[in-house]
Chain A
Amino acid sequence: MDTFNLTLTRAADWVFGWCQRLSPLATLLLLSAVAGVAMAVVFRVSSNQRAIKAAVDRSRAQVLAINLFGHDPRAIFASFAQLLRYTGLRLSYSLPPMLLMLIPFTLLLVQLAMRYEHQPLAGGESTIVKLELAPEAWSDHQRVALKSSPQVKVETPALRDATEHAVYWRVRPLGSTPAVLAWQIDGQTIEKRLDVSGDDVALSAVGVRRPGRGIVDRLLYPAEPALPAAGPVRGIEVQHAPRQTPLFGLDVPWWLTFVLGSIVAALLLRPILRVRY
């Protein structure tokens, strides 16, 4: 899984490298359009288009029927029942492509989230680091210490939260380049990358969490390899400020921009792609 994540992240780095001359918003819109078209094509080939067309047509026919035969309340209710039936059918026909696209689309969104959800720390910007321990390791390792380094200043002593089995520190990167946080636990050195950049505009992957061994954790946070399975640490998080990607001057979440961009692209190219949703 780590290799897979690494490969995928490098591939995404390569793609974003191609778009480095564009602004983050333009890159996002471009990617959303490409993804929208790609997903529309996948939807077309993996769904029963004939059945979807029939279900859509019949749904619309019921709306017309309500107007045409609206003189009879029974006809109205019958049409409405038929409409619900065909709507259910239509959604059921969308299930196979949804299932098919679930994993690739999740991976794509995770890669986008790594770049658009947060921005890297600026040099000299303080942040909070959270180290989560396994409940059974709390009593033995709650005194774990974050090593000081020339790149990062640990500004506060550890703050322990026994209910969450978590230890917190406030740290400050001293330079404008990525740094590494390190802990010594059971003779092993545990590290967490600290994404620092002097350029707050350029897109770069931000690893907000080094994941534990859980599949979902590793799927959602692919920037760094998973923590050792036998170790007491369940995850390490670094707080990063959210990235703003305003659209038409509005503070629109990046994922909404992406969703809208992909839908608009898929809709605009629908006649060319000859796909029915």
Chain B
Amino acid sequence: MAWAQGGDVEASHGGCPELAYIGPGAGLALAGSFLAILAAMLSAMLALLFWPFRWAWRAIRGRRARRRALVRRVVVLGLDGLEPSLVDQFLAEGLMPNLDRLRQSGSYARLGTTWPPLSPVAWSSFSTGTNPGKHNVFDFIARNTADYRPMISSVRIRPGKRQLRIGRYRIPLSGSEIRGLRKSRPFWCALGDAGIFSAVLRVPITFPPDHFHGVQLSAMCVPDLRGSQGMFCHFVENGHAGATSEGDVGGERIVVQRNGKGVRARLPGPPNPLRSDHQMADVPLKVVAGKNGAAVLHVDGQRVDLRPGEYTDWVGLTFPLAPMVKVRGICRFYLKRFEPPFEMYCTPVNIDPEKPVMPISHPAVFSTYLARQHGPFATLGLAEDTWSLSESVLDEDAFLQQAYDIDEERQRMFFDMLGRVPRGFVSCVFDAPDRIQHMFWRFHDKEHPARPADEALQAAHQHRLRDLYERMDALVGRTIDALDEDTTLFVMSDHGFKSFRRCVDLNAWLLEQGYLALKDDRSTSRHEYLADVDWSRTRAYAIGLAGIYVNQQGREAEGIVSPREAEALAKDIADRLTGLRDPQHDQVAIHQAVARAAVYKGPYTEQAPDVIVGYREGYRVSWDTAIGKCGAGVFSDNTKAWSGDHCIHPELVPGVLFCNRKLDAATANIIDIAPTALELLGVTKPAYMDGKSLLCAGETSSN
């Protein structure tokens, strides 16, 4: 083949290499998978490369703990608000076989709680092993002494101080401040100092998250995207737009516009921090008719099927704040009816855990990991929307569904952590018992003023608490099954639960007794947050759930009581409140009121209310007092769906403690869990802790 050049003759058309490519989708899937594996290999190689050094460092740091440790792992399963009397009843009825197993083979005791027995206070004492005088959390809210307005007690969020104004925009030049107000040090930090890894999920008052050797997902006090503690949206066709309740919680009623095919509205998001006018960012939404009575929601470029009486999955939303600046949130929708009058509920817009706008976990990527591993989940501190049921926006079934959905999300995370942390400390707090008992106690208490007259409704919900306790027992069973023999399990509640039938308006009592005066000598206030109080004639006032503050000179902005007189005044008020009777029911309403010095010891005692009020079973501070109002009378019926409570005298509402080993738990208190967990893992109790180890004599690590 003289005229043919080399192999060119055969190479005229050598097949189609491009045919190996079948579209960008497959190509990207392949490339994405390859990159994921590559990234994982690099991460794994780095982790393995550094592992000997980390191991050596941990071995040096934790050699003493490792030598003294009694177990490889401690697990604390927190069931918020589990009530001992109900536990006893259901144990006796054989409804809680798993807790019964723990009782038989280990320990079961009442667990003393804090003054006042509120979750933020009690769980802070759990974390730090201290009384509230050392951890500085005395209530859900604290008052600002400068203007008497309430503030969240455990966190302060402030925008950055330095800003650049460009037209209507404000460009932050410094980061916003998110400062935790819980003081002292949680025991997982002490474990971390000893090289022991911890996984801490949804333990209240962990926002902003702690920094320690481990992972943590924040809980109570994590705000929603609007910065509130939970603001739901109620889309309606009739009625007026506006807030459904007073304060930082509750809902916003939004009136939809109907045209021929459907309804339109805007879903409010966060106030825009980049604009001078803080205009609310929002996203438009449209709901159109679907098939078989269903509807279709179009929001943020997504098409979401809505079926009446069913929740959607979490829907991701992006709120534009400025060009190229967006924040992401997630929410769930619940269509009540599409036909006129249209009605739809939307949960508070939670911070998206996959791309959180503020730190809600430690390390920051931990929430991203959880979202990717288990899907989106509720991040709001008080995730279960009790207000929507209180205001009859949701019915009991819808609320229950929401609470149990959140419970399932949390169970997935908890069992994931049990699998991933075979050595160290794992804890998760489940809020469903607390929220469900708050809202369903009226079905359990036949004397409750808020018990519905509708017998069918009563019948439908009379066993809800029983169902709840059985469900929690099943969770305990799954947990026990997931543990090895070298793990100590604690199942505990931070407080118990009682009926909340009658409200005590402390401000009305203070007014009646001459400690408080209202402007223009009015007998009731019109505005919340103590706005109607005449401070020049007021010696004491109440706001929040815990107690009463003295209007002290040099402390409160318009204080009139000298510091010398304050203590005596507090004692006087406490003495007069103790044994206060409810004339209508001829019962003692207040078991004991105490001056703070009697129950708190520590550097932050000064921040506590001056008088702490311990109510009798059936009584609690009134709704008006909680938001700084003064009602018409001292006593009134509680007619809200929020019918169970625990903010009474702590001796009357202890929690429960179960453990799979024998404990010396006759006088166990919630502050004792931290020292016990530390000792089990071989770490010496820090000197600041007030609690004591519950391990039996002869079983301590020193032995």
Q: Report A's interface with B, CB cutoff 8 A.
A: 35-36, 39-40, 42-44, 47, 52, 54, 56-80, 83-84, 87, 90-91, 93-94, 97-98, 101-102, 105-106, 109-110, 112-113, 117-118, 128, 130, 156, 159, 161, 168, 170, 208-209, 220, 237-240, 253, 255, 258-259, 262-263, 265-267, 274-275, 277
Contacts and interface: CB of A to CB of B under 8 A. Distances in A.
A24 to B, nearest CB: 16
A21 B241 CA distance: 58
A49 B556 CA distance: 59
29 contacts: A39-B24, A39-B25, A43-B24, A43-B26, A52-B29, A54-B375, A57-B373, A57-B375, A65-B369, A68-B363, A70-B47, A70-B51, A72-B422, A73-B51, A76-B51, A80-B44, A98-B22, A101-B23, A105-B23, A128-B12, A159-B4, A209-B13, A255-B16, A263-B27, A266-B25, A274-B301, A274-B302, A277-B25, A277-B29
B109 to A, nearest CB: 34
Contacts of A262: 23-24, 27
A156 B372 CA distance: 69
Contact of A239 (B8, B371, B422): B8
Contacts of B365: 64, 67-68
A244 B377 CA distance: 54
Contact of A94 (B12, B21, B25): B25
Interface in B1-40: 1, 3-4, 8-9, 12-13, 16-19, 21-33, 36-37, 39-40
A225 to B, nearest CB: 18
B43 A63 contact: yes
Given A69-B421, A70-B47, A71-B54, A159 B29 contact: no
A91 B25 CA distance: 11
B460 to A, nearest CB: 34
Point out which of A70, A265, A267, A277 has the most chain B C-beta atoms below 10 A from its C-beta.
A277
Contact of B18 (A64, A75, A109, A240): A109
Contacts of B23: 35, 39-40, 42-43, 97-98, 101, 105, 262
A250 to B, nearest CB: 17
A64 B25 contact: no
Contact of A113 (B8, B16, B25, B58): B16
Given A94-B29, A106-B19, A36 B24 contact: yes
A128 B29 contact: no
Most buried by A among B12, B373, B421: B12
Nearest to A220: B16
A208 B13 contact: yes
A98 B21 CA distance: 10
B18 A130 contact: no
B362 to A, nearest CB: 10
Nearest to B15: A220
B261 interface: no
B60 interface: no
Contact of B420 (A65, A101, A109): A65
B368 interface: yes
B422 A63 contact: no
A68 B9 CA distance: 59
A61 B375 CA distance: 10
B547 to A, nearest CB: 42
B298 interface: no
Interface in B414-431: 420-423
Interface centre among B23, B39, B51, B54 (most CB of A within 10 A): B23
A87 B16 contact: no
A31 B486 CA distance: 64
Contacts of B600: none
A208 B422 CA distance: 66
Contact of B32 (A69, A78, A277): A277
A75 B424 CA distance: 14
A120 to B, nearest CB: 14
Given A63-B39, A274-B301, A237 B12 contact: yes
Contact of B197 (A71, A238, A277): A71
A76 B48 contact: yes
B328 to A, nearest CB: 13
Given A58-B373, A239-B9, A87 B37 contact: yes
A64 B363 CA distance: 11
The list of the 5 closest CB pairs from A to B, nearest first, reads: A43-B25, A255-B18, A70-B47, A266-B24, A39-B23
Which of under 10, 10 to 19, 20 to 34, or 35 or more describes the interface residues of B? 35 or more
Contacts of B50: 70
Contacts of A113: 16, 18
Interface in B43-88: 43-44, 47-48, 50-51, 54, 58
| Candidate in A59, A161, A275 with the most chain B CB atoms within 10 angstroms | A59
Interface string B367-400: 0110111010000000000000000000000000
A64 B368 contact: yes
B26 A97 contact: yes
A27 to B, nearest CB: 16
Nearest to B24: A266
Contacts of B41: 80
Contact of B369 (A64, A128, A237): A64
Given A168-B1, A255-B21, A110 B36 contact: no
A41 B246 CA distance: 48
B16 A168 contact: no
A232 to B, nearest CB: 21
A76 B371 CA distance: 19
B90 interface: no
B169 interface: no
B30 A91 contact: yes
Contacts of B420: 65, 69, 75, 78
A275 B25 contact: yes
A237 B18 CA distance: 21
A66 B25 contact: no
Given A58-B372, A76-B47, A208 B22 contact: no
Contact of A65 (B4, B12, B373): B373
Contacts of A265: 24
Contacts of B25: 39-40, 42-44, 47, 94, 97-98, 101, 266, 275, 277
B251 to A, nearest CB: 30
B215 interface: yes
A137 to B, nearest CB: 20
Contacts of B197: 71-72
A168 B197 CA distance: 77
A87 B25 CA distance: 15
Contact of B12 (A35, A130, A170): A130
A42 B338 CA distance: 33
Given A97-B23, A239-B8, 10 more contacts: A40-B25, A63-B39, A68-B369, A69-B420, A76-B44, A76-B47, A84-B37, A209-B13, A267-B28, A277-B28
Contacts of A73: 47-48, 51
Contact of A109 (B12, B16, B33, B366): B16
Interface string B685-696: 000000000000
Contacts of B421: 69
Nearest to A238: B12
B369 A59 contact: no
